[in-house]
Amino acid sequence: MRVVICFLLIQLSFTEVLGQSPISIQGKVNGKDEKAVLFANLLLKNAEDSAIVAAAVSDSTGSFLFRDVKTGVYYISVSAIGYKRYQSGRISANVSDNNVVIVPEISLQEHAHELGTVRMVAQRHFIEQHLDKMIVHVDKSIVSSGNAIIDILERSPGVIVDQQNEQIQLRNRTGVIVMIDGKQNFLSGNDLFQFLRGLNSEQVDRIEIITNPSSRYDAAGNAGIINIRLKKNTSFGTNGTASAAISRGFIPDATQDLWRGTLNVSLNHRAKNLNLFGNFGLNREGNYTGNTLARTFQFSQLNSFFRQQIDRGNRIKPGNFRAGADYPFSEATSFGLTFDYNAASTRSLS
């Protein structure tokens, strides 16, 4: 008799799971004067623990769509260049006749401090959409100035940067290939994150986000390619640049060490058939993360409440040195040598 009862329970549970259908969540993102916001980065998060469930990017009409969502309660986090970060209320995704949840239109507010200092005349856009890739021009946004490349990737459309687990995803898929000037970087995990923290915006010209690589690329990655194009100096003779930036974050009840700074020095010597170049970059990052977990349990006549506060602070000092030489044999062929050195120190703060 016990065997028969267990079998029936398993059958009922299995039938219930098969009866569930995936749910779609869709909506639209607007900005000033109800104009559509293009390439807004949207994250669907679990309302209980803020875990990332799915990611989406708004299209040319500002519309977005989350597919194959399970039944539950969620909220949407939206970020876009030039706008304040937005967080929606709780969204209940339940099985209905058409299994589609329509989210009320999301209205983003402009970031007056950022937009008030930007003036662009006859220049290329910060983001360019091509048939095979998306290009982010790092030097075309004042928000990117002085930031590490890992921070810029976090704000790029379709890119999810998991700082805690040190993973980079494209369209919710892991296994992203990171390239430097078209050459694959074989670093992974902590080493890759330290390398990207050491690169600052002054050293990078653009970032190419390729979600569907063509046959010309290595097929080892199953998520896509992020190709980082470094700046190159084409002026003849000897020249160089130096830049520095400093900033500080203000968070109530956080650690006092939230200072960030970058220092970058570049030297270049170009003759008719020879180019010598070198670059030195040093960063300092003060980071803080605060998480509050609150749970209430109700069972019969018993009620219990659990609250946990987690505060994390760290200080990271990444640095990098890059030197090399190029010798062109023709307009289409050249020979080059490059030396890269990266180092970083991390210290936890109480």
- Return the SS3 of 33: helix
- Cβ-proximal residues to 208 (8 Å cutoff; 6+ apart), any chain: 133, 134, 135, 136, 225, 226, 227, 228, 229
Cα 145 to Cα 127, 162, 190, 200, distances in angstroms? 16, 22, 24, 8
* Strand pairing category for 100-102 and 23-30: parallel
Residue 28 has pLDDT above 90, yes or no: yes
Residue 60 has pLDDT above 90, yes or no: no
Element containing residue 18 per DSSP (H, E): helix 2-19
- Alpha carbon of residue 43 to chain centroid: 11
**Are residues 231 and 203 in contact, defined by beta-carbon separation less than 8 angstroms?**
yes
- Cβ-proximal residues to 327 (8 Å cutoff; 6+ apart), any chain: 273, 274, 275, 334, 335, 336
Residue 297 corresponds to which amino acid?
F
Task: Work out the pLDDT band at 106, boundaries 50, 70, 90.
Answer: very high
Running DSSP on this structure, what letter comes out for residue 219?
Answer: T
The listed range with the strongest mean pLDDT (72-86, 119-133, 150-164) is 72-86
The residue ranking higher by pLDDT, 317 or 164, is 317
Give pLDDT tens digits for 187-241. Answer: 777 777 777 877 777 778 888 888 877 766 655 556 788 888 887 766 677 877 7
How many angstroms separate the CA atoms of 321 and 195, rounded? 11
The residue ranking higher by pLDDT, 192 or 74, is 74
Running DSSP on this structure, what letter comes out for residue 36?
Answer: B
The pLDDT score that the predictor gives to residue 116 is: 52
How many angstroms separate the CA atoms of 336 and 44, rounded? 45
The residue ranking higher by pLDDT, 229 or 328, is 229
- Return the SS3 of 43: strand
The residue ranking higher by pLDDT, 216 or 175, is 175
How many angstroms separate the CA atoms of 146 and 260, rounded? 9
Q: In this structure, what is the dihedral angle of CA atoms 236, 320, 207, 126, given to the nearest 10 degrees?
A: -80
How many angstroms separate the CA atoms of 262 and 315, rounded? 14
Give pLDDT tens digits for 113-149. Answer: 544 555 655 556 677 777 778 888 887 666 566 677 8
How many angstroms separate the CA atoms of 277 and 238, rounded? 10
Sign of the CA dihedral with 165 first, then 48, 82, and 31 last = positive
Q: What are phi and psi of 203, to 5 degrees?
A: -95, -15
Which domains, ranges and CATH numbers included, belong to the chain?
Answer: 2-107 (2.60.40.10), 112-230 (2.170.130.10), 237-349 (no CATH)
Strand partners, 327: 335
The pLDDT score that the predictor gives to residue 1 is: 41
The listed range with the strongest mean pLDDT (109-118, 276-285, 326-335) is 276-285
The pLDDT score that the predictor gives to residue 17 is: 41
Task: Work out the pLDDT band at 319, boundaries 50, 70, 90.
Answer: confident
